[in-house]
Structure 1
Amino acid sequence: MTVATAKRHNVQRHFSTCHKSHNASYPPSSALRTEKARELKAALGKQQSLFTKPVEKSQQTTEASFRATHFLITNKKTFSDGEVFKEAMMIIAKTVFKDEKNGTDVISTLSNVQLGASTTVRRVTAMSENLTEQLEQDVATCKWFSIQCDESVDCSSSAQLMVFIRMVFDDFSTKEELLTLLPLQTTTRGVDIYNAVKSFLVEKKVPLEKLVSMTTDGAPAMIGRHAGSIAHCKGDTDFPTFLHYHCIIHQQAICSKVTGFEHVMTPVVKIINSIRSKAKQHRIFKVLLEELSAEYGDLLLHTEIRWLSRRRVLQHFYFSLLCEIKEFIQSKGDDISLLEDTEWIPDLAFLTDITGKLNHLNCELQGKGKTVADMISAVNAFKAKMNIFSVHLQKKRVLHFPSVQSVLNDNASASETFDKVVDKYSEVINRLGQEFENRFHDFDQLEPCVSFISNPFVQVEIACIAEQLSATFSLNAGEVEIEIITLQNDLHLKAHQSEPNFWCLVDTEKYKGVCTAAMKVASMFCSTYLCESAFSDMNFIKSKHRTRLTDSHLHDSVRVAVSSYTPDYSKLVTSMQCQVSH
């Protein structure tokens, strides 16, 4: 019998009518009555568990499916790899748990995990939407943000525009995240990039008034004075006044081209290609290296687009495999006079050293979470090193050029040659340093602001720095000047100036202008490293074996693969009807 309405008098009437003997058998407040109530609750629990346990088990297998899919996609695996992964898992389970007490249950549970190709696609889409929701919440709550964007072509010749965002929050914490991956269906002109970005920002209701800066590569479609996407954005009244920077890593790569020395690199690449371009010669050369117990088992290829490989190519060529290369070339009857030229060998050594220093700078500029201060510091340090190197070379000291030093130690005649070419090397160093000075003038203008934010208690011309901050970040110069004076005389803040989270201790209402400048600096990108890195992931995901991958599935896969957010698995599981695998 059921009670229509759970009111007190209804329940009491039901009890006195249908359970007359209950009070006599189980007196109120007695231990017997308490035990009976416990038994009835336990029976009800068992009855309910008959239905809840399968549901819970189904939810667990669905969550396992989401977690496994996330693992596969972050490792850039295909959708169909889920089935292979599950089959391998089942083989392991049947082998390991076949004699265990609960082995059958374990194997049965694993077999219910949904990892089919179509299921994996739905899981990736669901996780991408969940990660997008988390991003949109952060974009709405952040104080300021900057974006970096770059365009590339995937393996099916579709143009893809990658956009990353860096957000700063009230506690001065920052997040870097993929904002979107936009396909450009036809042309990739500046107006096309502008329209794609503007449409996305409007559609997603991104607060444009919080935009601080945009960082791009140096392509005309990006930074063209009249037709570039940046020019279109700056001419759009919906966009605020924002800063724009050409990727510092790209600029460094352009600066490196002034070193020249094609008379060294061209023959080296030609010799390497002559060995590696023909399969038979390549096999014979590797056998020769093995017979001679060479330090390395093969030569490295070099291409212009992968210019970071230059230093390793040169180092392997001269300092590890030169004798083997000469012997191999002689065995074919070719001329090796260049490889024994006492004027060419020092040039090879110098180019090896200088490319090594450029590579080291490039690696310092790469990576996630790099701040403006980190990048400006690295570039300034390199320019200072160039000055020192030039002074040393003029004094005929090669302390910072180990490859040149090695050549001079091994070859007495090379010392005479070095005396003749030392001025040429010094000129290359000076030219490289001057190119850095010319290229990075936009960062030189930003440097005083970044330096002050990094150390607000340094002695500066207050009026001057206040004008620079106000001009750079659209602030009131008078208010900023007063805030700087007050800040530098705040004894409490002075006592905590060395703490890494210093700006979290500053009252954002009292020092509104200075804190705004600090937040904007914290939000800024100086390179397109995240875009370049994500393009590598994109090309791995959409390879020549997956050319039919749609733009939407590519976007979802890239987001799941590169996102710093963790999918909300509980929310994902509860939002769908859980079913076991077929």
Structure 2
Amino acid sequence: NTTFSFIKDKPTSYFKRLSEQEAKTTNSFKSLITFSKKALIASYQVSEMIAKNMKVHTIGESLILPACKKIVSTMLGDEAAMTISKIPLSNDTVHRHILEMSSDIEKNVCGKLQCSDFALQVDESTDITNKAQLIAFIRFIKEDQITSQFLFCKEFSVTTKGEDVFNILNDYLDKWQLSWKSCVGICTDGGPSMVGCINGLVSFMQKKNANVITTHCFLPRDALMSKTLGEKFNELLDIVVQMVNFVKTKPVKSRIFEEISISMDSQHRR
């Protein structure tokens, strides 16, 4: 074979040197891959912390990464700080990581729901931009334990009628191939769009599953109950509210109240 004829007369040391260079290149490549993997894992971990603490995505690049570099540089030296600086934490990167983790969680949860009964809790809310949104939570059995999980937050297109709520839920269940037969319960606030006997959400759900159990959210129920406790109770509550407002109107009043509470060995200070 004449392809490598130019090296056939080379000494053994030449080939050993080539072998060593190849090994060094391979090791350097493996080290680079290992570092890139660790940097990526660290980026996902920081992105998760940013999401859980509801901070702006730019905080990773503007505060967290510079702070880590300062700490590492002081404790371990500049070389280690240079390594830390290679962790990707830009605004777009953090945003993308959060979306990827959210999608993965949703996929895992919906995968478990395909072989389990579940109950839904839905509520309509309006954000600061006056957009109506549907928030859904789900409860299901996981490893013999009842698990509650945030499911989704979807924006209404125009109206917020019972049919609109049902369509959002139905589209979501169809997307993940979930059966209405597995939905054993629905918890709502008791409004007409939710429990109306003709056009309410529950009426549409019962067409899909006649055995679904409807429950009333306890917060509105307590609010309704408080309106029927009688005039004397309301008068007492009014007095309490006036007292609290009087104490909280000025800082000096709060401090005086705290001193009085301390002198009386009360656990309630402010």
TM-score band by shorter chain is 0.7 to 0.9
CA contact (8 A) 1:158 1:185 kept: no
- Structure 1 segment 400-549 matched on structure 2, within 5 A: none
- Candidates 103, 108, 112, aligned match of 2:82: 108
- What are the superposed Cα offsets for residues 115-148 of structure 1, whole Å, 9 maximum, x if unpaired? 11121111111111221221232122x2322211
Distance in 1 (CA, whole Å) between partners of 2:20 and 2:183 is 60
SS at match of 1:197: helix
1:78 — aligned with what?
A: 56
| 1:182 positional shift | 1.1
| Unmatched runs of 5 consecutive residues or more in structure 2 | none
1:89 — aligned with what?
A: 68
1:243 — aligned with what?
A: 213
SS at match of 1:186: coil
Question: What letter is aligned with 2:242?
Answer: K
Asked which structure has the greater RCO (Cα within 8 Å, sep 6+), the reply is 1
- Structure 1 segment 41-60 matched on structure 2, within 5 A: 44-60=22-38
SS at match of 1:273: helix
The answer to whether residue 149 in structure 2 is matched with residue 180 in structure 1 is no
The answer to whether residue 183 in structure 2 is matched with residue 211 in structure 1 is yes
The answer to whether residue 39 in structure 2 is matched with residue 61 in structure 1 is yes
Distance in 1 (CA, whole Å) between partners of 2:53 and 2:107 is 23
CA contact (8 A) 1:66 1:123 kept: yes
2:124 — aligned with what?
A: 151
- Structure 1 segment 134-149 matched on structure 2, within 5 A: 134-140=108-114, 142-149=115-122
Question: What letter is aligned with 1:107?
Answer: A
* Pair 177,41 (structure 1): closer, same or farther in 2 beyond 3 Å: farther
Question: What letter is aligned with 2:44?
Answer: F
| 1:111 positional shift | 0.2
* Pair 40,147 (structure 1): closer, same or farther in 2 beyond 3 Å: farther
Question: What letter is aligned with 2:42?
Answer: A
CA contact (8 A) 1:222 1:228 kept: yes
| 1:212 positional shift | 1.3
Distance in 2 (CA, whole Å) between partners of 1:75 and 1:172 is 30
CA contact (8 A) 2:121 2:186 kept: yes
Question: What letter is aligned with 2:58?
Answer: S
Q: Percent identity?
A: 24
TM-score by length of 1: 0.40
- What are the superposed Cα offsets for residues 146-201 of structure 1, whole Å, 9 maximum, x if unpaired? 211112222222222111222236x6344322221111132222122112111222
CA contact (8 A) 2:69 2:82 kept: no
- Candidates 104, 108, 112, aligned match of 1:130: 104
- Structure 1 segment 334-349 matched on structure 2, within 5 A: none
1:28 — aligned with what?
A: none
The answer to whether residue 141 in structure 2 is matched with residue 168 in structure 1 is yes
- What are the superposed Cα offsets for residues 185-232 of structure 1, whole Å, 9 maximum, x if unpaired? 322221221121112222232222222111112222211222211112
Distance in 2 (CA, whole Å) between partners of 1:198 and 1:156 is 26
Distance in 2 (CA, whole Å) between partners of 1:214 and 1:168 is 16
The answer to whether residue 173 in structure 2 is matched with residue 201 in structure 1 is yes
TM-score by length of 2: 0.81
| 1:65 positional shift | 0.5
State the number of aligned residues: 258
Greater fraction strand:
2
2:253 — aligned with what?
A: 285
Distance in 2 (CA, whole Å) between partners of 1:289 and 1:50 is 68
CA contact (8 A) 1:211 1:240 kept: no
Distance in 1 (CA, whole Å) between partners of 2:19 and 2:139 is 54
| 1:253 positional shift | 4.6
* Pair 283,241 (structure 1): closer, same or farther in 2 beyond 3 Å: closer
SS at match of 1:259: coil
Distance in 2 (CA, whole Å) between partners of 1:187 and 1:199 is 16
Distance in 2 (CA, whole Å) between partners of 1:122 and 1:78 is 13
| 1:79 positional shift | 0.8
Question: What letter is aligned with 1:258?
Answer: T
Distance in 2 (CA, whole Å) between partners of 1:267 and 1:178 is 39
- What are the superposed Cα offsets for residues 398-440 of structure 1, whole Å, 9 maximum, x if unpaired? xxxxxxxxxxxxxxxxxxxxxxxxxxxxxxxxxxxxxxxxxxx
Please say which structure displays the higher CA radius of gyration. 1
Distance in 2 (CA, whole Å) between partners of 1:223 and 1:246 is 9
CA contact (8 A) 1:82 1:117 kept: yes
Greater fraction helix:
1
Distance in 2 (CA, whole Å) between partners of 1:63 and 1:240 is 47
* Pair 96,199 (structure 1): closer, same or farther in 2 beyond 3 Å: same
CA contact (8 A) 2:247 2:254 kept: no
CA RMSD across the alignment: 3.3
Distance in 1 (CA, whole Å) between partners of 2:102 and 2:180 is 23
Distance in 2 (CA, whole Å) between partners of 1:202 and 1:112 is 42
Question: What letter is aligned with 2:170?
Answer: K
Distance in 2 (CA, whole Å) between partners of 1:42 and 1:222 is 73
